[in-house]
Amino acid sequence: MESTHTSVEIDGSLGEGGGQMLRSSLSLSNILGIPFSMDRIRARRQKTGLRPQHLTAVEASARLCGGHVEGAEVGASRIHYSPNHLPFGEHSIDIGTAGATSLLLHALYYPMAWSDQGGTLRLAGGTHVDKAPTFDYLNNVWAPMIRVCGMDVSLRLHRHGFYPRGGGLIEAAIPSKQRPQPFRYEQRPDLDRISILALFGQPPEQKRPSSGLAPVAQRMGNAAQELLHQLGFRASFLCSEPDALCVGAVCHVICHFGPLRAGFTAWGWKGRPAEQVGAEAAALAAQFLRSEAVVDEWMADQLLLPLALAQGPSVFLAPQRTGHLLTNADIISSFLPHVSISIEADTRGLQRVEIHP
């Protein structure tokens, strides 16, 4: 990756090599007013090039920002993007598939928050999709964490959308003229509480009267609560059985540490016992709780972009060095070569992440 004064050239096959490179590039390009070209897009993936959900992010960014894009089509391995202005106002965007609305929000949120007017985004697609933050992670972890960084967003879930049918809808109200503040946490605040949210969505016509057995969501929540209790942690849980276009099962465990949050998710599928799903989410949370990490591995890479734009240095402890973390650091350095991002293991095996804007 090599930057110039007029544009940034990005090799999309480097590092983690996924869609995050494109989302971060779009955000930074729009905020900084710097064009970029990306070659060999998603070259490391089984299906290379732009997929429909990535194309939606590029086209939405160009439309909202008055930008110009070349090469934007499904399967494209190279694009060139030139921004024009920051996005603002009210916009509705339909991914058209079960593509993750959370990832589309990540591409559009920071430029809109940076603008003088802010706005509202209504995003249709997948709200609970594997390998992407769910709406519940956005609302219960991501949003509180960026508030600690001096930013804000109000989120609403209008419809649940599970893979593969999608059909969900989220709304994000984004205040204007936001600027991130430094985030300095080398020690995790004390644990306040643990909350469990278990969801089992299905089409209304498939819902059956109670058979006397505990519903799927309740069995997931019970299993998560029981395992955490065995490991010495108290937790409360909430079950939900929303209407959806297709069946979907997911269990979240959210850990509250003063103003900080960490979230852990496990997915169900046909033939997998609900108890196994709940136990997996609880085990992931317990592993984090036994460590001294400050942020979970997903928030670690998501914090880099706003903190690189903050008015001062930041530091935090992440549980591990992931490909997403390293790749996002590389993308940020391409657009902001003066920003220093160091990721170093300490004696406990944690990753000390330090950002100097």
Catalytic residues: 324
> What is the pairing mode between strands 119-125 and 184-185?
unpaired
Helix axes 52-65, 101-114, angle to 10 degrees: 20
How many angstroms separate the CA atoms of 6 and 26, rounded?
A: 15
What distance lies between CA 223 and its chain's CA centroid? 26
Please, which residues bridge with residue 69 across strands? 81
How many angstroms separate the CA atoms of 128 and 244, rounded?
A: 11
Query: Are 10 and 39 within 8 A, CB to CB?
Result: yes
- Which whole-number Å values give the CA distances from 310 to 50, 180, 337, in the listed order? 31, 5, 15
- Identify the burial level of 347 via C-beta atoms within 10 angstroms of its C-beta, where 0-12 means exposed, 13-18 middle and 19 or more buried: exposed
